[in-house]
Amino acid sequence: MRMSQLFAPTLRETPAEAEVISHQLLLRAGFIRRSSAGVYHYLPLAQRVLQKIMAIVREEMNAAGGQELLMPVIQPAELWQESGRWNVYGDELFRLKDRHQRDFCLGPTHEEIITDLVKNNVTSYRDLPLMLYQIANKYRDERRPRFGLMRGREFIMKDLYSFDRDEAGLHESYRKMYEAYTNIFRRCGLKFRPVEADAGAIGGTGGSHEFMVLAESGEAEIVYCDACEYAANVEKAECKPQNQPGEPALPMEKVSTPGQKSIEDVSKFLKVNPTDTIKTMIFRADDQLVMVLIRGDREINEIKLKNKLDCLDLRLASEAECLEVSPGGAGYLGPVGIKGIPIYADLEVMALTRAVVGANEPEAHLIQVLPNRDFSVTEEADLRMIHAGEPCPQCGAPVKKARGIEVGQVFKLGTKYSKSMGCTYLDEKGQEQLMVMGCYGVGVSRTMASAVEQNYDANGIVWPVAIAPYQVVVVPVSNKDAAQMEAAEAIYKELQQKGVDVLLDDRAERPGVKFKDADLIGFPIRITVGNKLASEGLVEVKLRNNGDQFNLSRGEVTEKVV
């Protein structure tokens, strides 16, 4: 490629709307342009980076046994109704109607549609395990699209779904994916950490890990231990609710909408005594925190170990006093301005001071309840939040905190979707069994932005070699010098023939401008053909990552660059 022909509109100034470095540099260096909020054009340089990340992702998915397919973006509401998520996914789901007034959505994730596909086309245990994946656009109407490619409303994701005969099979698929993810982010040249996570809005029973690229600008906070392997996101390393010292406790009130029930009624619904201890579980579903009350001792194991997804079907109206009610859940508590719960500290909901407690039934809620005053919480191990410097739950060494960008997540879904949507197979004895599923996502466009967050300096981007748009730029210092131009052209062609991704800066620009652009765009290697060519037969090689510079003879330069 020749720079004179490249469509890479660079900017002199940092655009005011860009808060984080990746957004600033990707705009300035001509990689992306905004179309509307959270929706971007990927210009040719960005497209090359994305293609390289995708190639790595594909290789690792295929090596782990994945088969690539491409599923519809437009998904019928019926499937989402079957799984129960149509009503609980909330405003993040882009919904649309066709000319016959039938409901559809743009896929934010593909559990429903792939479960439907597999259910209709796989019948025997002989066809399992099965791992299917795609790399495609996802659509999420994020409440706050921001930070450029970090939190888009249209973004590229690789999503793989595994279908197994049983839990042991799922465990193996999960292990393969975990390993593949480790390879992907390592090969992309990123510093990252897998951390224990909760299952969020996707749901699932068995466990989950997030892959976090470590960066100050990250929206997520993690705790980790240097002495052992322990690492978790703060939602997972949860907390123990308690009243803030000196905090005046508001009296508990019945919500004044008609039909509200008394604490006696709520207790009755929860099948506990008004004075009973009620166990709770807190988790985060996207931007919302959900606290679930678990009815009576009897059901705790069931919910915790097997059926945590029930809790995930609950969705709180973010600022409501009364809660939205969804089918199939347990009782719950939220939206949670419960003071004194450290996990909420960095969230907007902290502004709300009234906690709501209620049952999963219309109009069965009370506001201004306080944990420990109005009910007690006993699941301390689950609910404790770990602070920096406190002992690691695994080895006791002091833990540390860091910020991270979630670039991938793996989930054990179990039978959440196969059960609600009837995705079964016949086992060796001809018995019908539920398939056991997992799902695994990589944010491809977010990975590109994360790479910039970790690799830049005052002059611009410093791409890791594996995902650089071009590995080498060849810069003739003077366009008017025929010998320089000829040598640059020849080096360019030789490198191309060797399969190196190389760009020739053939523009009639001053050398300073060319060097600045090369640094801004972030090519790992710059080969400069200048005055030393005529005098000593040398060209200059400069490395972007550490600034090292050295001369090579014109003859050996293309041999040495690989």
Site for Mg ion in 284-303 (CB under 5 A): 286
Phi, psi of 59 (to 5 degrees): -55, -45
| Under 8 Å between Cβ of 177 and 64 | yes
| Under 8 Å between Cβ of 22 and 452 | yes
Decide: is 111 part of the binding site for ligand ATP (CB under 6 A): no
Nearer to ligand ATP, 446 or 542 (CB): 446
The listed partner (Mg ion, ligand ATP, none) that binds 408, CB under 5 to 8 Å by sort, is ligand ATP
CB of 304 to ligand ATP, least distance (A): 21
Decide: is 489 part of the binding site for Mg ion (CB under 5 A): no
SS3 67: strand
SS3 436: strand
Decide: is 85 part of the binding site for ligand ATP (CB under 6 A): no
Q: Write the DSSP symbol of residue 304.
A: I
CB of 325 to ligand ATP, least distance (A): 23
The listed partner (ligand ATP, Mg ion, none) that binds 152, CB under 5 to 8 Å by sort, is ligand ATP
Site for Mg ion in 363-422 (CB under 5 A): 406, 409
Stretch that binds Mg ion, among 16-24, 279-287, 321-329, 460-468 (CB under 5 A): 279-287
* Number of residues this chain uses to bind ligand ATP (CB under 6 A): 18
| Closest-approach residue to ligand ATP (CB) | 443
Phi, psi of 250 (to 5 degrees): -75, 145
Site for ligand ATP in 396-435 (CB under 6 A): 406-409
The listed partner (ligand ATP, Mg ion, none) that binds 151, CB under 5 to 8 Å by sort, is ligand ATP
Decide: is 110 part of the binding site for ligand ATP (CB under 6 A): no
SS3 109: coil
Q: How many residues does the chain have?
A: 562
What are the helix (H) ranges across 16-65?
A: 21-28, 44-63
One character per residue 436-475, x = contact with ligand ATP (rule: CB under 6 A): -----x-x-xx-----------------------------
What are the helix (H) ranges across 366-443?
A: 380-383, 416-421
Decide: is 20 part of the binding site for ligand ATP (CB under 6 A): no
| Closest-approach residue to Mg ion (CB) | 409
One character per residue 130-159, x = contact with ligand ATP (rule: CB under 6 A): ----------x-x--------xx--x-x--
Residue 130's H or E segment, with its range, is strand 130-139
SS (H, E, C) 483-506: HHHHHHHHHHHHHHHCCCCEEECC
Please name which of 463, 442, 546, 406 lies closest in space to residue 46, comparing C-alpha atoms.
Answer: 463
SS3 341: coil
Nearer to Mg ion, 24 or 75 (CB): 75
Residue 187's H or E segment, with its range, is helix 167-187
DSSP E strand stretches across 48-173:
67-68, 74-76, 94-97, 103-106, 130-139, 154-164
- Which parts of this chain interact with Mg ion (CB under 5 A)? 286, 406, 409
- Which parts of this chain interact with ligand ATP (CB under 6 A)? 109, 140, 142, 151-152, 155, 157, 200, 202, 286, 406-409, 441, 443, 445-446
